Amino acid sequence: QLILDTLDKEGEIKDTRTLVLPGYKDPAATHDSQIIILGALNSLSSRDMIAYTTHETVSHVLTQEGAQIALQGSHEARVWAACPKKGEGAPIPPKQLQEKVGAETAKVGQGQAFKNKWIGKEGDGLVKLVDSITDITQLQMREVDSTGTLKAGEKALAELRKRKLIAQRKGQWFSVSKGPNFSTSTAKPETDLTVDMLASGSWKTSTYKKYNFEADGIPPNGGALHPLLKVREEIRNIFLEMGFAEMPTSSFVESGFWCFDALFVPQQHPAREVQDTFYLSDPAESLPPPKEYYERVSKVHEQGGYGSTGYRAPWSHEESRKLLLRTHTTASSASMLYKLAARCRGEEDDSEEAVKREGAHAASTVPGTGKAGPDGFRPAKLFSIDRVFRNETMDATHLAEFHQVEGVVADRGLTLADLIGFMRVFFKKMGIENLRFKPAYNPYTEPSLEIFAFHPQLKKWVEVGNSGMFRPEMLEPMGFPKDVHVHGWGISLERPTMIRYGINNIRTLVGHKVSLESVERSPAVRF
Ligand code: PHE
């Protein structure tokens, strides 16, 4: 307002250092006042109410020592003040002076006070030689403090700079003229035309804010994929690129038969216990599995066969029919492999009714590749990425439900080398090249391998998957010829995603604590 009023009265402001700011006595000569003025100038000029030009100056400010002198006097003045008048009182010994004014002031001040003939020696002590002094240094400090310079000129300033009592500071001052929208009113310009303004007619006299065509727009609020979905898509593309077909995995609820028995998991296996598996209570029992296959499976468990001794434990029909939330997608792989073997069993059911009845599980919908041999077998490469459930204690890295990535390859004469070679290609496509394989145990695979990858950021080996060659006890009851081997592997989707996005608590990735903002901002990543 001061700037606008001054411009209104005088037409221009040649030097903003001549303005007297409200609440101040002196003109706005100091650095700080000019900063305040600059703020106002910028705000007024953005509305084209004024225009201004900047002038650079060099001014001086007090150093910490200079400020102390302005307040308490120079070292020599303080030394002088501490000494008794000659003839009045005992001369002050140097040690006592030191205690009174401080070691530094006593040291620096004594020499200068002697030189000025303000003090003299008497015996072992010091006394005043004059009744009054003019503390020029203190006066100079006060002058610099209020005006930023010295009337005495550059030589005196240079001397004080050398003594480190003052320092140079670049400053600015401004000259101001009226702008095209000059007015003495600082009312905020309107940004919108309102009904009230039209009704009252105030729109005619209002000032309006100019359009800023350079302004950034509001970021569009589009949809965003969750990190798990991005990584899922990436892995899915790797599978498709390698000629795999996606298995239908919509059945979260499976029976003990498909989740465990078909996989030759013993009925007393700890994974089947309630602590590890969620069982259903309503309905609690599954529909009967295919009758003949069911008999072959129960037989291989109880009595063995296909070169195996079996588990030699009584078979529980009840255990087999229990409904549960699948603990791994290998349950889906098992039922797909069973369908794939349909032609080997001589059940060449390509009929429309079969597809209608069995849906995606019908033999004709299993995407085998290549021509079937005389035994009806067609090689197949299948994958799935879907949800599994385990009755786990939840912590930073475990949830009761997570996603498994699973692949199976069925062909004649596959060996463990094929599995390892396949793993190398698959993980390389995810950007993971440094792999190690460790013998492991799964009831349904022999041999079994755990897959470890070297994590360059964590600088350690982390487990990335579990794999193996499916056992004859699993494949042969399905009807596969002996020379057909199937290898499979499973990895979790969450673990690589967490490593990739640097997340160390699963709850940051999944569940009600996930921040939508982090989902929107998460980049698409390559492994
Ligand atoms: N089902 C295994 C798991 O849950 C993964 C796996 C799949 C292992 C296929 C071997 C073969 O960890």
Q: Please give the ipTM for the structure prediction.
A: 0.95
Q: Confirm if 367 and 380 have CB atoms less than 8 A apart.
A: yes
Nearest-angstrom CA–CA distance, 101 and 82: 7
How close is the Cα of 234 to the center of ligand 1, in Å?
Answer: 20
Coil vs helix vs strand at 188: coil
- For 194, which DSSP code? -
Determine contact, residues 383/244, Cβ cutoff 8 Å: yes
Residue of 441, 442, 466, 444 lying closest to 453 (CA atoms): 466
pLDDT over 70 at 366, yes or no: no
Measured distance CA(23)–CA(317) in Å, rounded: 95
CA of 450 to the centre of ligand 1 (A): 10
Classified as helix, coil or strand, 22 is coil
Return the half-sphere exposure (C-beta side, CA atoms, 13 A cut-off) of residue 380.
27
**What single letter denotes the amino acid at residue 104?**
E
User: Who wins on pLDDT, 234 or 188?
Assistant: 234
Please state the atom number of ligand 1 nearest to the C-alpha of residue 333.
9
Cis peptide leading into residue 94 (ω within 30°) = no
- Name the residue with the closest Cα to ligand 1, atom 3: 490
d(CA 204, CA 193): 11
User: Which one is predicted more confidently, 505 or 324?
Assistant: 324
Instruction: Give the ligand 1 atom nearest the CA of 330.
Output: 1
Instruction: List Cβ neighbours of 341 (8 Å cut-off, separation of 6 or more).
Output: 377, 475, 478, 479, 480
Tokens matching residue 222: 């589009």
Structural domain spans, the chain? 2-64+140-178, 75-134, 229-521
Residue 164 CA, chain-centre distance (Å), reads 48
Distance from the alpha carbon of residue 336 to the mean position of ligand 1, in angstroms: 15
Specify the residue with its C-alpha closest to ligand 1, atom 5: 490
3-state secondary structure of 54: strand
Can you tell me which residue has the tokens 């003939």?
A: 117
Task: Confirm whether pTM is higher than 0.95.
Answer: no
Q: Which amino acid is at 34?
A: Q
- What's the pLDDT score for residue 295? 96
Reported as a single tens digit per residue, the pLDDT across 119-171 is 999 888 999 999 999 999 999 999 999 888 899 889 999 999 998 999 998 88
Ligand 1 site residues (CB inside 6 A) read: 328, 330, 406, 442, 445, 466-468, 488-490
Which ligand 1 atom is at minimum distance from the Cα of 328?
4
481 neighbors 400 (Cβ within 8 angstroms):
no
Residue 527 has pLDDT above 50, yes or no: no
302-346: per-residue pLDDT in tens? Answer: 999 999 999 999 999 999 999 999 999 999 999 999 988 988 888
**For residue 448, which atom of ligand 1 is closest to its CA?**
10
pLDDT at 297 over 70: yes
CA proximity to 496, closest of 453, 464, 456: 464
Specify whether domain 229-521 bears CATH 3.30.930.10: yes
Spacing, Cα 405 to ligand 1 middle (Å):
9
Ligand 1 atom 10, closest CA: 467
